[in-house]
Amino acid sequence: DAGITQSPRHKVTETGTPVTLRCHQTENHRYMYWYRQDPGHGLRLIHYSYGVKDTDKGEVSDGYSVSRSKTEDFLLTLESATSSQTSVYFCAISDLPGNQPQHFGDGTRLSIL
């Protein structure tokens, strides 16, 4: 299995609080991704990174920010969490997008009350 660790695995928090999710990889892959998974929507891309300090928006980026200060770590921050951000969040990595598959972490279940 690809070495991807997401933390925390579960979190419950209140509306308006900041939340940071962490993705750590040991594969030295260049590309890292954050997705959210919601019933009826499949996986939707939030942000992705193509290198240290290089990030770009996905289709559902509003309300989220990311940072990548090291190859192995990709952080997703909800600056002020809302109930609509209750979801399961997945991190994925890829070495050569378009030519290699993505590999996924086990997910973080986030509930915002």
Partner 1 sequence: GEDVEQSLFLSVREGDSSVINCTYTDSSSTYLYWYKQEPGAGLQLLTYIFSNMDMKQDQRLTVLLNKKDKHLSLRIADTQTGDSAIYFCAASQTYKYIFGTGTRLKVLA
* Amino acid (1-letter code) at residue 81: A
Using alpha carbons only, give the angle 22, 71, 78 rounded to the nearest 5 degrees: 30
Compare residues 63 and 97 and give the one whose CB is closer to partner 1: 97
Alpha-carbon distance of 77 to 82, in angstroms, equals: 12
List the interface residues with partner 1, window 20-79 (CB under 8 A).
Answer: 31, 33, 40-43, 45, 48, 50
Number of residues that bind partner 1 (CB under 8 A): 22
Compare residues 17 and 96 and give the one whose CB is closer to partner 1: 96
Among the listed ranges 18-26, 61-69, 70-78, 86-94, the one in contact with partner 1 (CB under 8 A) is: 86-94
Is 105 a binder of partner 1 (CB under 8 A)? Answer: yes
List of residues contacting partner 1 (CB under 8 A): 31, 33, 40-43, 45, 48, 50, 90, 92, 94, 97-99, 101-107
